[in-house]
Structures are given as structure tokens and as C-alpha cells.
């Protein structure tokens, strides 16, 4: 059983801020900022790409609802809502979860940077990706 399934099964304690029949939301054990929350489905799915629509939608609905609550109650100035999918993307726990990271300033202990890199041929990329 994965670590989040153990939390869902109450085998490992957590600070739960929301629970229903499909979704659990807990405080991340390492609070990147005050109120950093994880929203996960109770059903074990590895990541957002492997989730069925119903499971993904339940998580996103809950993440939006809780992000509004967290921002309003903490007085945060903004929020990052994100899911890491795959090790290369920084996923360390292979059970789908959305991070809700309230943001108090651009100096918070999180960096999301869109750095310049290799130039792409947009026509070629578009041809690859468009229907
Ligand atoms: P990922 O890197 O997979 O996107 O995020 C996994 C997150 O789960 C990390 O931010 C990590 O701090 C959190 N985490 C790992 N183990 C536990 C745990 O046992 N309890 C809680 N509440 N969070 C955990
Ligand atoms: Zn699991």
C-alpha cells in the first residue's frame, strides 16, 4: 500500500482539513508555505494522466473549493495549484495529488521559473501537437 493510501486508511495520522467519499485533503507534512495542502483521491491512481475523468474532476473541484477557503482564511495574496506527474516532473509520491500552496509573496520558499531554453520551431511543434 502506498503512503497516501495508508493515510487514507488512517494507518498513518494526518492533519485532515477536508474529506468526502471520493477525496481527502491534508496538510503537507513539509509546509512550503503556511496552509500548504494536498488534495488526493481516495482511489489509488498513480497520477493525473492515469486517472479517470470522474476522479480527476472530483480532485480539481475540491482543490478549487479549498484554495478559495485557504486564501480567504490565511490572507494569502495568491495561490499555486499544481500536480506533479512523473519523476521527471518532481513527483515523489506515486498517488495522484494536487498541491495547494498559498502565496504570501514572490519571496516564498518555492520557485516556479519558466527559464529561457532551446529555441523551438513553433510550426513544427504545432504540426506535431495539433489535431
Ligand atoms: P510530490 O513531490 O509527489 O509532488 O509531493 C509529495 C508531497 O507529499 C511532498 O510535498 C511531501 O512533503 C508530502 N508528504 C510525503 N509524505 C507525507 C506524509 O506522510 N504526510 C504528509 N502529510 N505529507 C507527506
Ligand atoms: Zn495510494
Question: Could you confirm whether 97 is annotated as catalytic?
Answer: yes
Q: Is 30 in the pocket of ligand 1 (CB under 6 A)?
A: yes
Domain 3-129: top CATH class: alpha beta
How far apart, in whole angstroms, are the C-alpha atoms of residue 110 and residue 77?
15
Instruction: Point out the residues of the chain with pLDDT beneath 50.
Output: none
Catalytic residue among 36, 95, 97, 99: 97
The pLDDT assigned to 36 comes to 98
Q: How many Å lie between the centroid of ligand 2 and the Cα of residue 106?
A: 33
CA-based end-to-end distance of the chain: 39
The pLDDT assigned to 100 comes to 98
How far apart, in whole angstroms, are the C-alpha atoms of residue 20 and residue 6?
16
Q: Is 91 in the pocket of ligand 1 (CB under 6 A)?
A: yes
The pLDDT assigned to 20 comes to 98
The pLDDT assigned to 66 comes to 98
Q: How many Å lie between the centroid of ligand 1 and the Cα of residue 102?
A: 16
Largest CA distance in the chain: 52
Q: Would you list the domain boundaries of the chain?
A: 3-129
Going from the C-alpha of 52 to that of each of 42, 105, 121, the distances in angstroms are 13, 35, 33
Q: Is 84 in the pocket of ligand 1 (CB under 6 A)?
A: yes
The pLDDT assigned to 117 comes to 94
Q: How many Å lie between the centroid of ligand 1 and the Cα of residue 127?
A: 38
Q: Is 26 in the pocket of ligand 1 (CB under 6 A)?
A: yes
Are the beta carbons of 77 and 70 closer than 8 angstroms?
no
The pLDDT assigned to 16 comes to 98
Phi, psi of 127 (to 5 degrees): -65, -35
The pLDDT assigned to 122 comes to 97
pLDDT tens per residue across span 12-35: 999 999 999 999 999 999 999 999
CA-based nearest residue to 81, from 37, 44, 32, 16: 37
The pLDDT assigned to 19 comes to 98
Residue that is written with C-alpha cell 496552509 in the block? 35
Amino acid at each position: 500500500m502506498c503512503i497516501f493510501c495508508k493515510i487514507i486508511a488512517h494507518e498513518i495520522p494526518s492533519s485532515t482539513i477536508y474529506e468526502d467519499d471520493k477525496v481527502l485533503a491534508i496538510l503537507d507534512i513539509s509546509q512550503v508555505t503556511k496552509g500548504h495542502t494536498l488534495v488526493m483521491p481516495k482511489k489509488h491512481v498513480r497520477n493525473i494522466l492515469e486517472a479517470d475523468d470522474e476522479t480527476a474532476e472530483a480532485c480539481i473541484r475540491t482543490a478549487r473549493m479549498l484554495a478559495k477557503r485557504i486564501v480567504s482564511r490565511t490572507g494569502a495574496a495568491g495561490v499555486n495549484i499544481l500536480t506533479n506527474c512523473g519523476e521527471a516532473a518532481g513527483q515523489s509520491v506515486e498517488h495522484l495529488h494536487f498541491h495547494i500552496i498559498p502565496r504570501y509573496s514572490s519571496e516564498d520558499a518555492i520557485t516556479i521559473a519558466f527559464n529561457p531554453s532551446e529555441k523551438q520551431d513553433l510550426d513544427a511543434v504545432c504540426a506535431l501537437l495539433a489535431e
